Amino acid sequence: MFKDNAKYSYFCEGGLSMKGFFLKIKNWLQKLSFRTGLIVLLLCIPFYILSFAQMALPISAGAKGVLWVVLFGLAKTFQWGGITILGVEGVKRVKAYFRKKGKGTESSEAEKDTSYIE
């Protein structure tokens, strides 16, 4: 019974394994642009805020728990998706941007490097 239905399953004998499936998703995400990675990464912020702000709503504890799990899960998904899209080099570019921004405006025009923004 299950053997016949296995050919319709994505994860079956001779098909794609779970590891292969997640590697395929990771490879697809890494093909997206730096700007897309930043947008996805920034989307985690409102979901983190909402996941804790909803605790102030006058609803039952069970509903608050479900909302927290869903919203916090979305925040984590956007966070790790954005990091995957950015990759190591993208994370270095973002860190370099914040380091340069933290130094202030005392640097001259010749020292300014905007290669991290495309």
Domain ranges of the chain: 35-102
Average pLDDT, integer, range 43-67: 95
Q: What are phi and psi of 14, to 5 degrees?
A: 80, -10
Give the mean model confidence (pLDDT) for residues 76-82: 94
Q: Which residue has the tokens 């925040």?
A: 75
Structure confidence at residue 1 (pLDDT):
47
pTM, to two decimals = 0.66
* Residue 52: predicted pLDDT: 93
Q: How confident is the prediction for the chain on average, in pLDDT? A: 82
**Each residue's pLDDT tens digit, 10-42:** 555 566 788 888 889 888 888 889 999 999 999
